[in-house]
Structure 1
Amino acid sequence: MKVGVIIPARNARPWIGEMLESVRAQTHPAQAYLAEDRSDDGTFEWVRERPELYAGMARNRVRRGWAGSLNAAAKLALADGCDALFTASADDRLHPDCIARCAAVLSADGGRDFVVPYAQQFGEADVVQASLPDATIEDFVQWPPLIDKALIRREVWEQVGGYSPKATLPGSYGSAEDWEFWIRVWKAGLTRYAVVEQPLYFVRVHPGQLSHDRGEWHAATVGLFRKLHPDLPWTADSGVWPPRHRTTKRSGHA
């Protein structure tokens, strides 16, 4: 299985080397594909000078935000013949066995559509980001029951069409496009999946990242998704923050 780790990158100069080295250190061969989103901190120049760290890189002509950059990275990986895509962030890192464990589960039991590992935060926070192993469409009306880091078969990505720019709120460069992506995956019936209940992905928590403002955008996000997916069983408290159901737990209790 040829695996491409797709990485949007903007102003990630202090951390991107660690992510790319963690891709190279995988026990299952994997290659990085990057979409550089008009950084102004030297990220593009640093990466450009180290082509041995990635299989493909494109620089956006204009800033495209999280969804557009992830799709651009996926386009590179798919054009290079990757069988599966692992969604990642430039400021994080992978456990050395991340791709191997996920690829083994993806191929087991006749094959799955995607595999989601637990993730471990580090930096300013120390929690495990878990995902539900048996999510239903009803679980999506308040908060995504799955994290956004997953190994996804190319057929699933292509059928769903990747992340949708329609799910980006005006005034933001990324808020919860992964949430809307999973909704479309469920509506397409591509729900043969598994969760690896071990942290294999490490999420760096630091000031300035898009996820820091997610709470502020939550009600507006739900309002947008109600319009995009009016057939979901939204409830009166779907826009309330924090959501009733969270997929996080303190580290040490995974």
Structure 2
Amino acid sequence: MKVGVIIPARNALPWLAEMIGSIRRQTHPAHTYIVEDRGDDGTWDWLRQNPDSYDGLARNRRRLGWAGSLNAAAQLALDDGCDAIFTASADDKLHPDCVARCVAALEADGGQDFVIPYAQQFGEADAVQASLPDATLEDFAMWPPLIDKGLFRRETWETVGGYSLKATLPGTYGTAEDWEFWIRIWKAGLTRYAVVEQPLYFVRVHPGQLSDSRGEWHAATVDLYRELHPELPWTDESGVWPPRHRTTRRTA
């Protein structure tokens, strides 16, 4: 199975080499596809000077934000013949067995539509981000019960069409598009999935990233998603920050 790790990158110069290095060390061969989103810290120049660091590279003609850049990176991977794509961030890193474990789970039990591994935070926080193995569509009216990093069969991604630009909160370049993406996954009936209950993806948490000010953005996000998917059983507790329905647990 040819796997592509897809990475949107904007002002990611301090961390990108670490992520790329972790992809190169995978025990299952993985390919790297990066779309640079008009940053100004030298990331694009560094990438151009290090062509051995990736298998596909593009730069947006204008800033597209998280969703548009992720979709563009996915298209690079699919056009290059990848059978599955792993969603990633430029400032994170992978466990060496991440892709191998996810591929094995994707092909188990007659084949899955996608696979989600547990993730381990590092930096300012140290929680394990867990995902529910038996989520239902109703769960997504409260809070996403799955993290946004995982391995997707190409047919799954193409059927849903990737992230929707309609799900980006006006005035931002990205908030919680993965939440709306999951809703469309469930509506499409692509719910054969597995959760690898071991932290295989490492999420860098920057200073201030988990501040309570995010509550305002989440409240506006819920309002937007209510409009996009009014048939879900939204409640007054949907998207409450901090979330009451958590998919994280503290490490020992």
Query: Unmatched 5+ residue regions in structure 1?
Result: none
TM-score normalised to structure 2 length? 0.97
Is 1:4–1:31's contact at 8 Å kept on the other side of the alignment? yes
Is 2:143–2:239's contact at 8 Å kept on the other side of the alignment? no
Q: Give 1:183's aligned amino acid.
A: I
Q: Does 1:132 find its partner at 2:132?
A: yes
1:240: Cα distance to partner?
2.7
Report the equivalent of 2:165.
165
Is 1:174–1:210's contact at 8 Å kept on the other side of the alignment? no
Question: Whole-Å Cα distance in 2 between the matches of residues 113 and 86 of structure 1?
Answer: 13
Change (3 A) 1:71 1:195: same
Report the equivalent of 1:39.
39
For residues 107-122 of structure 1, what are the structure 2 equivalents within 5 Å? 107-122=107-122
Deviations 1:156-191 (A, max 9, x none): 000000000000001111110000000000000000
Partner-residue secondary structure (3-state), 2:163: coil
Change (3 A) 1:45 1:117: same
Q: Give 1:50's aligned amino acid.
A: N
Identity in percent: 78
Query: Unmatched 5+ residue regions in structure 2?
Result: none
Partner-residue secondary structure (3-state), 2:44: helix
Deviations 1:180-203 (A, max 9, x none): 000000000000001000000000
Partner-residue secondary structure (3-state), 1:225: helix
Is 1:5–1:88's contact at 8 Å kept on the other side of the alignment? yes
Report the equivalent of 1:180.
180
Q: Give 1:84's aligned amino acid.
A: A
Change (3 A) 1:51 1:82: same
Q: Give 1:133's aligned amino acid.
A: P
Is 2:119–2:203's contact at 8 Å kept on the other side of the alignment? yes
Question: Whole-Å Cα distance in 2 between the matches of residues 211 and 79 of structure 1?
Answer: 39
Change (3 A) 1:76 1:176: same
Is 1:11–1:41's contact at 8 Å kept on the other side of the alignment? yes
Partner-residue secondary structure (3-state), 2:91: coil
Question: Whole-Å Cα distance in 1 between the matches of residues 80 and 209 of structure 2?
Answer: 29
Partner-residue secondary structure (3-state), 2:104: helix
Question: Whole-Å Cα distance in 2 between the matches of residues 24 and 213 of structure 1?
Answer: 37
Deviations 1:116-150 (A, max 9, x none): 00000000111000000000011101210000001
TM-score normalised to structure 1 length? 0.96
Report the equivalent of 2:68.
68
Report the equivalent of 1:241.
241
Q: Give 2:175's aligned amino acid.
A: S
Equivalent pairs, count: 252
Report the equivalent of 1:218.
218
Question: Whole-Å Cα distance in 1 between the matches of residues 238 and 23 of structure 2?
Answer: 37
Question: Whole-Å Cα distance in 1 between the matches of residues 183 and 68 of structure 2?
Answer: 18
Q: Give 1:245's aligned amino acid.
A: H
